[in-house]
Amino acid sequence: MSVTSPLRSVAVRVPATSANLGPGFDTLGLALSAYDELTITGLPAGELDISVTGSGADEIPVDESNLIARTVRYAYESVGVAAPGLRIDARNGIPHGRGLGSSGSAVVAGLLAAKGLLEGRAEFSDADLLRLATELEGHPDNVAPALFGGLTIAWTDDETPRHTKLLVHRGVAPVVFVPDRTMSTSTARSVLDPAVSREDAVFNLSRSALLIAALTQSPELLMAATEDRLHQERRAQAMPETDALVRALRAEGFAAVVSGAGPSVLVLADGPGRRLEAAALAERHTGGTWQALMLAVDFLGGTVREPAEGASLHEL
């Protein structure tokens, strides 16, 4: 492939994610089939042109503070190459500020764009991408599924982020209920206790292990597997409507959890029919004010390609 030209363009697509999945706090993440899609073009140094449509378009900055632009510069600096100017055309399908990994997906989009723009001049391994994304985002549980797709388990080993990817049982049918208000991750974290009891720690360890089995082999175990004692009850005070919906759904046998830091609610239904029942219950409970997103598990993760080509330069 030829050396990057100043006007080279890449097309990037990154899935939404839902982290924690109940008991797997800061560890488990799932890629979902809502997407941010971007075309990013290299310009002469110092130039910046950002256009955003879709979710969050009115709030996302279009100057040097833009997260995608900052991430592209960070990736270039990491390999010792001067960053170009950028034209960013973003079409956001991931609800912003609602617990579906929008900031992590923006970081992943910037890293994949840099990888594509630098093709032939610098290389980024999967480990490089996860490390850089974690440095920028702070936690690997959201960026890992955005990068690699599927169900991911993320951890750190000697301060190095690592992950493994698992395939989700085809009987698992996700549905996300999205309110019209947002919640910042920092606010959601501020209400958490700094210490937990041994009993609660063991409880969550057992449920997290069970959740892996439920998602990969035995969806009928999802109700028990999504129980949590570490974060959801403590966050209820910051998002009472979310807590009320989770409780209403679980009372009727649906495996409902807070999606990421909230305020969206994720239901891991054990079949398409069950998620339709969950949607009907949620509509009655909320008066139809929450949007129901019937999603699939995204198994591919983030991709980058040349806009005129069908083949990806990078598929994780």
Binding residues for ATP: 95-105
CA distance 60 to 215: 34
Placement of tokens 């034209």 in the chain: 87
Give every CB contact of residue 32 below 8 A, 6+ residues apart in sequence.
15, 16, 17, 18, 100, 174, 176, 295, 296, 297, 298
DSSP, residue by residue, 266-289 = EEEESSHHHHHHHHHHHHHHHTT-
Record the tokens describing residue 64, joined without a space: 């040097």
Phi, psi of 88 (to 5 degrees): -120, 120
Question: What is the 3-state composition of the chain as percent helix, strand, coil, each rounded to the nearest 5?
Answer: 35, 25, 40
Look at residues 190, 230, 191, 224 and name the one whose alpha carbon lies nearest to residue 210.
Answer: 224
Contact 68, 90 (CB under 8 A): yes
CA distance 52 to 113: 16
Record the tokens describing residue 231, joined without a space: 């974060």
Q: Which residues are annotated as a binding site?
A: 95-105
Contact 246, 286 (CB under 8 A): no
Look at residues 33, 31, 36 and name the one whose alpha carbon lies nearest to residue 14.
Answer: 36
